[in-house]
C-alpha cells in the first residue's frame, strides 16, 4: 500500500481502523506520567488526543501496519510533540499537536504546505510531512501533523559557549547559506504576501515540486499570544489591517485597555494620548511602505521566519551541517527586506552599562538593530580574580558583533542584494515599521518619544 496524499486532510480508511490493534497504546495521561509530569500538573498539559487513533493515523500515513510506541518528545509554548516508533523497522515520526492556545485550522495546513514547499520547491532541509488534519472532529480528536523525525542531531546553541571559533564560523556559514534560500523570490504564481496553502482540487499524485500546487492566502499571525487571521495578501492592505487590529486591541469603547498596553498602576496614559501615538505609527508605517515601493527589488515576496532561533534548527552532530529547519508555524511570505535579519541567538543586545546616547537607543531601540561594538576581547577579571561586569558586557557585544558580521558576509556572497549599501537604508524603516505592527500598542506607547521625533523630523 502507498502512503496517502498530503495535499488534503488525512483520513484513515475505516477498514484500516477496524483491523488496527490499539490495546497496547497508552493514554495521553500515562504518556505524560512516564515523562515525569506530576499527577497534579497533567491537566494543564493535556492536548486531548486520542492516542490510539493517533497511532492508527501514523501507521496508515507510513503504510506500516503495526502499532508504534508513543512517548513525549517535547512540549513548547504552542505545540506538543509525540515520538512514535515502529518496532519492526525502527522508523520514527513526530506527531505535532497544537496546544489549546494555538489552534487555528489554517495554521496546520499552512505549516504542512510551507514545509513541503520549502523541501520540494526550494530544496531547503525541512521535515517531510506524512499527513495532517486541521479539524478537531477527526478521530485523533485534535489537529495534527505527522512529520519526519531526525536522529543524531544537535541544536546550534548546544555547546556553543565551549565551541571553537572555527566550529562557530562553520555553523554561521551554514545558516547564511540556507538563509539565502529562504530569501529567494517566490515563483510567479505565488507573488503575494501571507501564508502558503495547498491548491484546491489537487489529485493524489500531485507533483509537490510544482509551484502551482500551492496558493497564497492571508496570513494567520500570533498577536499577544493569540492567533489573528488577516484579510489581505496585499502588503499595504495587510499593514493597514494590522494597524487597525492592534489599535482596537488597546482601545475599547473609546477607553483604554491598560492590560493590553501593559501599563503599571502609576503609568499615566489616556485614550487621546494613545490615539495620537497610534496615528504616528500609521504615518511611520506608510512612510516605510513608500520607501519600499521606490526600491521594489527589496520588496520581492520570500519565505520569512518570524521565529528564527537556534532552537528551531537541527545540525548533523558530526559535521555541523544543517540537517533541518523545524517549527514552521511562524514562517510567512513577506518582503525580502523583512527577512534580512539575524538568528535571535546572535541578536541579543547586551545593553547593560551602554551609554544612553549610544546609537542603539537613538535607533529606537529595536531588536533588529543591536549595538555593534568592535575591538579587542579583554580579560574580564581584575587582579584579585573578581569579575568586571563592564568588561564582560563589552566582550559579549564584541562577540555578538563578530558573529553578525560573519553571518552577513555569508549572505552577501550568495545574494548580491544584501551587498548593496542602499539595502541597509531601506531595511531600517521597513523592519522598524514591521516590528511595530507585529507587537502592537504596548510597544507603540513605550516608543512614543522616538515615534514623535520621527514624525516631527518628517521621517
Is 70 exceeded by the pLDDT of residue 3?
Answer: no
Q: Is the dihedral of CA 402, 184, 417, 220 positive or negative?
A: negative
Please state the length of the chain: 459
Say whether 7 sits in a helix, a strand or coil.
coil
d(CA 443, CA 438): 9
d(CA 95, CA 148): 9
Helices (H), 303-420: 336-339, 359-362, 389-414
Residue ranges per structural domain of the chain: 14-149, 160-194+230-456
Mean pLDDT of the chain: 92
Q: Which of 207-221, 332-346, 383-397, 440-454 has the lowest mean pLDDT?
A: 383-397
Per-residue pLDDT tens for 336-376?
A: 999 999 999 998 777 877 888 788 888 889 999 999 999 99
The confidence score (pLDDT) of residue 459 equals: 55
Q: How far is CA 160 from the centre of its chain?
A: 21
pLDDT confidence band for 127 (50 / 70 / 90): very high
Residues sharing a CB contact under 8 Å with residue 335, sequence separation 6 or more, in sequence order = 193, 235, 292, 298, 299, 300, 301, 302, 304, 430
7-10 long-range CB contacts below 8 Å, 24 or more apart?
Answer: 7/198, 7/199, 7/202, 7/204, 7/206, 7/208, 7/213, 8/198, 8/202, 9/109, 9/132, 9/133, 9/134, 9/135, 9/138, 10/57, 10/60, 10/61, 10/131, 10/132, 10/133, 10/138, 10/146
Say whether 196 sits in a helix, a strand or coil.
strand
Q: Which grid coordinates are listed for 146?
A: 505527522
Per-residue pLDDT tens for 4-29?
A: 789 999 999 888 888 888 888 999 99
pLDDT confidence band for 130 (50 / 70 / 90): very high
The confidence score (pLDDT) of residue 92 equals: 97
Per-residue pLDDT tens for 54-92?
A: 999 999 999 998 999 999 999 888 899 999 999 988 899
The DSSP element (H or E) to which 195 belongs, if any, is strand 195-198
d(CA 435, CA 427): 12
Q: How far is CA 390 from the centre of its chain?
A: 33
DSSP 183: H
Peptide bond into 216 cis (omega under 30): no
Say whether 5 sits in a helix, a strand or coil.
coil
Q: For the domain bounded by 14-149, which CATH number is listed?
A: 3.30.200.20
Amino acid at each position: 500500500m502507498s502512503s496517502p496524499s498530503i495535499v488534503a486532510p488525512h483520513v484513515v480508511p475505516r477498514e484500516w481502523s477496524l483491523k488496527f490493534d490499539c490495546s497496547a497504546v497508552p493514554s495521553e495521561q500515562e504518556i505524560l506520567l512516564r515523562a515525569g509530569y506530576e499527577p497534579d500538573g497533567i491537566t494543564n498539559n493535556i492536548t486531548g488526543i486520542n492516542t490510539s487513533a493517533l497511532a492508527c493515523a501514523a501507521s496508515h500515513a507510513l503504510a506500516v501496519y503495526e502499532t508504534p510506541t508513543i512517548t513525549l518528545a517535547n512540549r513548547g509554548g504552542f505545540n506538543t510533540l509525540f515520538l512514535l516508533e515502529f518496532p519492526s523497522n525502527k522508523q520514527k515520526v513526530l506527531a505535532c499537536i497544537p496546544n489549546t492556545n494555538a489552534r487555528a485550522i489554517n495554521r496546520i495546513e499552512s505549516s504542512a504546505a510551507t514545509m513541503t514547499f520549502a523541501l520540494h520547491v526550494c530544496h531547503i532541509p525541512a521535515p517531510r510531512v506524512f499527513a495532517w488534519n486541521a479539524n478537531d472532529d477527526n478521530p485523533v480528536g485534535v489537529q495534527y501533523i505527522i512529520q519526519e523525525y531526525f536522529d543524531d542531531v544537535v541544536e546550534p546553541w548546544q555547546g556553543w559557549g565551549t565551541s571553537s571559533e572555527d566550529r562557530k564560523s562553520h555553523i554561521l556559514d551554514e545558516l547564511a547559506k540556507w538563509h539565502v534560500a529562504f530569501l529567494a523570490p517566490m515563483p510567479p504564481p505565488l507573488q503575494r504576501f501571507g501564508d502558503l496553502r495547498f491548491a484546491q482540487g489537487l489529485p493524489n499524485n500531485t507533483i509537490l515540486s510544482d509551484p502551482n500546487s500551492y496558493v497564497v492566502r492571508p496570513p494567520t499571525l500570533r498577536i499577544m499570544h493569540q492567533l489573528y487571521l488577516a484579510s489581505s495578501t496585499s502588503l499595504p492592505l495587510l499593514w493597514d489591517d494590522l494597524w487597525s487590529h492592534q489599535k482596537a486591541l488597546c482601545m475599547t469603547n473609546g477607553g483604554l485597555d491598560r492590560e493590553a498596553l501593559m501599563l503599571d498602576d502609576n503609568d499615566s496614559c489616556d485614550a487621546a494620548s494613545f490615539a495620537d501615538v497610534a496615528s504616528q505609527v500609521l504615518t511611520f508605517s506608510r512612510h516605510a511602505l513608500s520607501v519600499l515601493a521606490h526600491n521594489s527589488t527589496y520588496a520581492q515576496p520570500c519565505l520569512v521566519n518570524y521565529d528564527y532561533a537556534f532552537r528551531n534548527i537541527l545540525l548533523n552532530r558530526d559535521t555541523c551541517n544543517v540537517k533541518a529547519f523545524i517549527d514552521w508555524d511562524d514562517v510567512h511570505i513577506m518582503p525580502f527586506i523583512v527577512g534580512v535579519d539575524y538568528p535571535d541567538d546572535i541578536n541579543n543586545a547586551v545593553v547593560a552599562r551602554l551609554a544612553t546616547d549610544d546609537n542603539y537607543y537613538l535607533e529606537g531601540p529595536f531588536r533588529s538593530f543591536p549595538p555593534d561594538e568592535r575591538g579587542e576581547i579583554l580579560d574580564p577579571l581584575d587582579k584579585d580574580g573578581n569579575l568586571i561586569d563592564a568588561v564582560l558586557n563589552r566582550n559579549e557585544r564584541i562577540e555578538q558583533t563578530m558573529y553578525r558580521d560573519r553571518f552577513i558576509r555569508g549572505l552577501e556572497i550568495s545574494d548580491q542584494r544584501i551587498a548593496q549599501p542602499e539595502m541597509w537604508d531601506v531595511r531600517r524603516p521597513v523592519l522598524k515599521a514591521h516590528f511595530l505592527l507585529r507587537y502592537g500598542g504596548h510597544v507603540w506607547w513605550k516608543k512614543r518619544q522616538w515615534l514623535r521625533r520621527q514624525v516631527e523630523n518628517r521621517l
